[in-house]
Copies of this chain bind each other. A is one copy, B any other.
Amino acid sequence: MDGSGSGPVRRAAVRLSDVAREAGVSAPLASRVLNGHASARAAAETKARILEVAERLGYVPNVAARSLRASRTGLIGLVVHDLSSPIYLELMRGARAEAAAHQYFLVLGDIDELLADDEAFNIFVNGRRVDGLIVQGGHQGFDQRIGDIARAVPTVVVNAPASPDETGAGSGSVTVSHVYPDEPSATRLLTEHLLDLGHTRIGLVSGPRDSMTNRLREKGIRDALEEAGLGLRPEDLVFGDWSADSGRRGLRVLAERWHDEHAGRPTALVAGNTLIGIGILGAAAEEGLRVPQDLSVAAVHDTWISEHLVPTLTTVSLPLHEVGTAAVRQLLAGSGSPRDVVLTEPRPVLHPRSSSARLQ
């Protein structure tokens, strides 16, 4: 990476002072004009010349110098739990768009990588590499460190409300903003869809028991069932994590209960998220359960994969794009007013597909 040898010849960097000299002005003035500062209004012609020269010379500011002087990196970090999950793409896009609108750039991180590598954690969180951090909440082990993180860099938690775990050990009462969608409405929509199809016994293959996000999702299901004069039976509920493997294990646990008890079984399952839904579909096939004939399945989060599964997966989509947007906005608004932002608009949307069908 030395730039020597027979490789591509790299241009020498054009500096602000080069632009200034070429335009016949001082560096500070060039800086002000290029950054669109309120002054320099009467410069009219000069202004145009500076812009033209910068363009012609291909001037790009040195971010290190700018960061050092302005104590601002221009970067916002988005740290998600599982980069390979199809779920967070929309959130990322929303965050990126809003960040770009404010001249910020979004960089991505992986929570597991960050937790596994102390040095990476230190560099990313304490190294002032980013001006702010958006972290995905709702994951044990990480929630406990949010207090630590927030003390180092402005932080907004997305997709989860505040958790009791969050005040890190000995951290006092650090509070952080949380931005998340209307989770209960989403699972309520799924449940009402299944009720409409005639299902009266509906189970839940859930995410982590302690996850606040999970609790909200569970609440939506319970509320919908209750209003229909029904309930969520304890034996129809299984906890796990947010992965496809967990969904698979969840269905197996339930199926075993069904063999044992001879006490009937749910005809429909809600999956805590799409990955869990994928796991359920796979395990159901192995158990000889036909979806949707023997078992309807509906999952939280709509992703590209939903319509490529066999059968295609009924889902509810949450406004993740807007969560991303709102998270960046909250971050830029400053940490002076930590608060919970529940995005009730746009409302969750049901996407009925082949995995859910009318009860025979």
Q: B73 to A64, Cβ gap below 8 A?
A: yes
Q: A338 to B6, Cβ gap below 8 A?
A: yes
**Taking the nearest CB of chain B, how far is it from the CB of A218, in angstroms?**
24
Q: How many angstroms between the C-alpha atoms of A307 and B244 in the bound complex?
A: 10
Number of interface residues of A (CB under 8 A): 79
Q: How many angstroms between the C-alpha atoms of A2 and B90 in the bound complex?
A: 27
Q: How many angstroms between the C-alpha atoms of A336 and B132 in the bound complex?
A: 37
Q: A282 to B304, Cβ gap below 8 A?
A: no
Number of this chain's copies in the complex = 2
**Taking the nearest CB of chain B, how far is it from the CB of A245, in angstroms?**
8
Taking A175-B8, A308-B282, A309-B282 as contacts, is the C-beta distance between A128 and B64 under 8 angstroms? yes
Q: How many angstroms between the C-alpha atoms of A175 and B13 in the bound complex?
A: 21
Which residues on the B side are within 8 Å of A92 (C-beta)?
Answer: 83
Q: What mask results when residues 116 to 128 of chain A are scored 1 for a CB within 8 Å of chain B, else 0? A: 0101101110111
Q: A8 to B310, Cβ gap below 8 A?
A: no
Considering the complex, give the chain B residue whose CB is closest to the CB of A68.
B64
Which residues on the B side are within 8 Å of A200 (C-beta)?
Answer: none
Q: Is A163 an interface residue (CB 8 A)?
A: no
Contact segment of A16-24, A148-156, A186-194, A229-237: A148-156
Q: B331 to A9, Cβ gap below 8 A?
A: no
Q: Is A140 an interface residue (CB 8 A)?
A: no
Taking A124-B105, A128-B63, A282-B312 as contacts, is the C-beta distance between A244 and B304 under 8 angstroms? yes
- The answer, among B8, B307, B332, B337, for a CB contact under 8 Å with A5, is B337
Q: Is A107 an interface residue (CB 8 A)?
A: yes
Q: Is A35 an interface residue (CB 8 A)?
A: no
**Taking the nearest CB of chain B, how far is it from the CB of A255, in angstroms?**
16
Q: Is A248 an interface residue (CB 8 A)?
A: yes
Q: Is A170 an interface residue (CB 8 A)?
A: no
| Residue contacts A-B, CB under 8 angstroms, 10 given | A4-B336, A5-B336, A7-B176, A8-B151, A13-B128, A60-B127, A62-B68, A105-B120, A282-B312, A309-B309
